[in-house]
C-alpha cells in the first residue's frame, strides 16, 4: 500500500511525499480553494502543507485515510490531492475529498482522478458506499460528484460556519454496484 500508484491517462495518483510540500503550498494559494474546504486553514502556509502531508502519511499507515497526490504526467508535479477519508471497514464506507490547483480547473482532471480512486475503493478496499459533500455554492465540485455517478442525498442547511458565514452542505452518495455497473 505504501507504494500504491493509480495510473490514469493524464495523471498518476500516488502517496504524498515530503518533497510535495512546495507543490501543495503553491497550488493552494487561491483563496477559493480554502473557501470550499471546511478544514483548510487560510492563509495557507508551507507549515500547513508539511502538517497535512505528515497527517496523511500517518493515516495511511492506520488505513483510516488514503490521500493521493495528483501528479501531472507531463509536468511531474503534484497539482492537487484526492483521497478516501474516514474509512470505516466495519460499515464498508468512506468519504471522497479533493482539491485541485486553479490552473487545472475545468479540464476533467478531477473526474479522471475520482474514477481511479473509486475503482480503488470498490475493487481493492471492497467498500460498499462512498459519500462526498460540497458547499451549496461550489457548483464545480457538485458537477464532479454527479459526473462520477453520485446521487444527491440531502442538504444540510446552514450546517457549517465557514469564512464568517453559515454554509449549506450538499451530501452525495455512491454505492459500489452503481459504480461498477458503469
Question: How does pLDDT run across 19-60, given as a tens digit for each residue?
Answer: 999 999 999 999 999 999 999 999 999 999 999 999 999 998
Residue 83 domain flag: yes
Q: What percent of the chain has pLDDT over 70?
A: 99
**What mean pLDDT is predicted for residues 151-175?**
97
Per-residue pLDDT, averaged over 175-179, amounts to 97
1 has a pLDDT exceeding 70: no
Beta strands in 39-128 (DSSP E): 66-72, 78-88, 93-100
Task: Answer yes or no: is pLDDT of 118 > 80.
Answer: yes
Give the Å distances, CA to CA, from 70 to 27, 44, 47: 11, 19, 20
Domain range for 74: 6-180
Q: pLDDT value at position 160? A: 96
The pLDDT confidence band at residue 180, using thresholds 50, 70 and 90, is: confident
1 in any annotated domain:
no
pLDDT at 97 over 80: yes
DSSP state, 55?
A: H
Task: Name the band, by pLDDT with cuts 50, 70 and 90, for residue 71.
Answer: very high
pLDDT at 52: 95
**Is 144 within the bounds of a domain?**
yes
Number of domains in the chain: 1
**Is the residue at 17 inside a domain?**
yes
Please list, in sequence order, all residues whose beta carbon lies within 8 angstroms of the beta carbon of residue 98, skipping any fewer than 6 positions away.
80, 81, 82, 83, 110, 113, 114, 141, 144
Instruction: Report, as an integer, the average pLDDT of 120-137.
Output: 97
The domain that holds 102 is classified in CATH as: 3.40.630.30
Distances 60 to 14, 29, 167 between C-alpha atoms, Å: 12, 26, 30
Residue 34 lies in a domain: yes
pLDDT of residue 2: 55
C-alpha dihedral (182, 100, 134, 129), degrees to nearest 10? 40
Q: Which residues contact 42 (CB under 8 A, 6 or more apart)?
A: 31, 34, 35, 163
Amino acid at each position: 500500500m505504501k507504494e500504491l500508484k493509480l495510473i490514469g491517462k493524464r495523471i498518476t495518483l500516488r502517496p504524498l511525499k515530503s518533497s510535495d510540500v512546495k507543490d501543495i503550498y503553491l497550488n493552494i494559494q487561491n483563496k477559493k480553494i480554502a473557501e470550499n474546504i471546511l478544514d483548510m486553514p487560510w492563509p495557507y502556509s508551507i507549515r500547513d502543507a508539511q502538517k497535512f502531508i505528515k497527517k496523511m502519511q500517518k493515516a495511511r499507515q492506520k488505513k483510516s485515510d488514503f490521500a493521493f497526490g495528483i501528479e501531472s504526467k507531463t509536468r511531474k508535479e503534484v497539482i492537487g490531492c484526492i483521497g478516501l477519508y474516514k474509512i470505516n471497514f466495519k460499515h464498508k464506507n468512506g468519504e471522497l475529498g479533493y482539491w485541485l490547483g486553479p490552473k487545472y480547473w475545468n479540464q476533467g482532471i478531477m473526474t479522471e482522478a475520482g474514477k481511479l480512486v473509486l475503482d480503488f475503493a470498490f475493487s481493492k478496499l471492497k467498500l460498499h458506499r462512498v459519500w462526498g459533500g460540497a458547499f451549496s455554492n461550489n457548483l464545480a465540485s457538485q458537477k464532479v460528484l454527479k459526473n462520477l455517478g453520485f446521487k444527491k442525498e440531502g442538504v444540510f442547511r446552514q450546517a457549517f460556519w465557514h469564512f464568517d458565514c453559515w454554509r449549506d452542505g450538499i451530501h452525495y452518495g455512491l454505492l459500489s454496484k452503481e459504480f461498477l455497473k458503469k
